[in-house]
Amino acid sequence: MALRVHGAWILLFVIPALVTPAAINHEDYPADEGDQASSNDNLIFDDYRGKGCVDDSGFVYKLGERFFPGHSNCPCVCTEDGPVCDQPECPRIHPKCTKVEHNGCCPECKEVKNFCEYHGKNYKILEEFKPSPCEWCRCEPSNEVHCVVADCAVPECVNPVYEPEQCCPVCKNGPNCFAGTTIIPAGIEVKVDDCNICHCHNGDWWKPAQCSKRECQGKQAL
């Protein structure tokens, strides 16, 4: 009986000895966040503060060096406090510029509208046109339209007419004036009734005719 009990105790002591810490492979288990953080503490990142400046492409400039941070930036000087950049007064972009490029410190106009717009229509530079019979216009190099309106003279008649595509009215029947309600031609005496002979004022076509009375034919008949 003693031998059996002794053998049992030996077996119990041997079994735990088979599982040792060396038998566990730590590579089979991922490290926890604490272990990963401690491993990253050994990385060193470059810090150029107070030592230099870095442009958009990652190039490092020494203190005092002049450089362009990017293709569309103004030139800068590298200082201990960082880049100190120029702030120039850029030229004003033309209000009718249709293409602006930002490839430098100041924006540049690469294309200006080369036509004029007038009443919904486009005209070439220096093109002349007539939007109406009384207007003469031209498209200026400034893309602005300048127009001149015709100044019509006073017609020499009381019944002028407007012809198509003509600006000023015309006297189709020549100069004339009113004698009462009758229109008489200028330059001759006109007997408007049995007692009155009238003629138009010279040069004053808008004034009533000048008339003079004569012996009436009706009285002579009596």
- Return the SS3 of 174: coil
Q: What is the pTM of this model?
A: 0.40
**Three-class DSSP labels, 65-76:** CEECCCCCCCCE
Q: Are 74 and 80 in contact (CB under 8 A)?
A: no
Q: From residue 222, how far is each of 195, 217, 219 by CA, in Å?
A: 14, 9, 5
- Co-location of 63 and 89 in the same domain: yes
User: Can you tell me the distance from the alpha carbon of 140 to that of 161, in angstroms, rounded to the nearest whole number?
Assistant: 34
pLDDT tens sequence for the chain (222 residues): 333 444 443 344 444 444 444 444 444 444 444 444 444 444 344 556 677 888 888 889 989 999 888 877 888 999 988 888 888 888 888 777 878 888 778 888 887 778 888 999 999 999 999 998 899 999 998 888 999 998 888 888 889 998 888 899 999 888 999 988 889 898 888 888 888 889 887 767 678 888 888 777 655 444
**Residue 91 sits in the same domain as residue 66:** yes
Determine the Cα angle at 114 with ends 109 and 115, to 5°. 140
Residue 209's domain comprises: 154-216
Is 45 inside a domain boundary?
no
Q: What is the CATH number of the domain that holds 120?
A: 2.10.70
Q: Could you say which of 133, 149, 165 is where a domain stops?
A: 149
> Are 112 and 96 contacting, i.e. CB atoms less than 8 angstroms apart?
yes
Strand 76-79 versus strand 145-149 pairing type: unpaired
